[in-house]
Each structure stands twice: as C-alpha cells, then as structure tokens.
Amino acid sequence: MPPSAPSWFSLAGRVAFVPGGYGGIRAAGGGGPRRPPGPPGGGGAAPGTSPPISPAIRAKAEALAAALRAEGHDALGLSMDAHHVADIRRAVDAVARHFGHLDLLVNCIGIQREQRLADVSEEAFDEVVDVNLKAAMFLAQAAAVHQVAAVAAGRAPGRQVHVLSVRAQLGMHDRGYSAYCASKGALVMLIKQHAVELCAHGITVNGVAPTVVRGEMGAHWLANPE
C-alpha cells in the first residue's frame, strides 16, 4: 500500500528552525510551525529573530515559542543576528544541540530598504544583500552540516525552504526596489545551486515566492487605495 497523503506531509518527530518565523508572513498564514504533541525530544520548532535584534523582536520569538509550548508542542525561542555569519552558525548549532538534531530549515528572514535608483546608498544596498542573500547562504550551509550528518546516521533526509518573493522575477513598478529585487533574484539561483549539491543526500531545497502579504513590511503602501 502506498503511504497516505497525511503521512507524506507529517512533521511528527521532525525539528524545524524557522528564523524570522515570528513575523508577518507567519501571522498572515494563521499560525506558526506545528507538530503533533508527543514525547519530549520527539520533534520541535525553533522560531528565531531576524535583524535588528531588539528586546521587542526577541520577545516576539520567545512569545511564539511559549504559545507553541502551551499547545503541547516542543519549541525554543532564540535570537540571531543575521548580519553576522558567526551568530548564524551559533543559532543553528544551538537548535541542533537543544533538540538533538535538525531536520528542516525554513528561512523567513528578509528586509527592504526602499530607495529609488537615483537615491540608492551603498550602506542600504549592502544591508539588504547581507540579510536577504548572504544570511540565506550561511543558514543553508550551517543547516546542511547537520542534515548531511543526520542522513549518514540513518535519519530521513532534511529539507530546506527559503521565502522568496515574486520580486525575484518581476520588478516593482514605480517603487525603489533595486536592492530587494536583486537579492531575491540571486536567492533563486542560490537555491538551485544548493538543490543540485544536496540532492545526493536526498535533501531538497526549495523557494516559496508569495506576492502581497498583509503585514508590517507592506502596510505603508497597502494603505494607499491607488
């Protein structure tokens, strides 16, 4: 008998790290990472903060983890500065150490510094690329170390998913999106490259490209009826 559809999509016993997972896309989607309640250590979710790390942002990640624990899930809230590779590696290692393994990376980190072409600053461009692209590279690398080792130890292959944007393929009319579109477009190719490198271990790498999400990031122009 082939496996049932629920078993194909089951996250039972799987550990997910969801950096940026406390934010607007998760809220618009109606929920955070989930797993069926089970014994301690049987699986879990670790929502992490995206930059900049402030007490308020750190509190969001910790509040989401607390809410998940209240529902019977195993969850850890932690902070991570996506500007710094060393801190990215520390956070990924902390998740794997806390839960005993790391199966899923769901990278929800992303920022925008809206500036029209004539006004783009080097500082703003570099920050968008650092957070949207460079952080994705080193999150993927750090997670892959644990995922490849897990496959070698006999665990089911892991998964990596990055949140893209339709701006990975489409410019934004009459808006200052140079850095954002460039970073998301480059992320598409990074995903493809990682997919062909990790497929030998059975690990899949994909991107999900939503369009408008009713959250804080787009609130200023969603409020404009024109």
Catalytic residue ranges: 180, 184
Q: Could you give the CA distance from residue 76 to residue 45 in angstroms, rounded to a whole number?
A: 7
Q: Could you give the CA distance from residue 136 to residue 160 in angstroms, rounded to a whole number?
A: 10
Are the CB atoms for 81 and 87 separated by under 8 Å? Answer: yes
- Say how many C-beta atoms besides its own lie within 10 A of residue 210's C-beta: 12
Q: What is the dihedral of CA 173, 174, 175, 176, to 10 degrees?
A: 110
Separation of first and last alpha carbons in the chain: 54
Q: Could you give the CA distance from residue 48 to residue 77 in angstroms, rounded to a whole number?
A: 6
**Six-digit token pair at 97?**
């150490």
HEC readout, 79-128:
CCCCCCHHHHHHHHHHHHHHHCCCCEEEECCCCCCCECHHHCCHHHHHHH
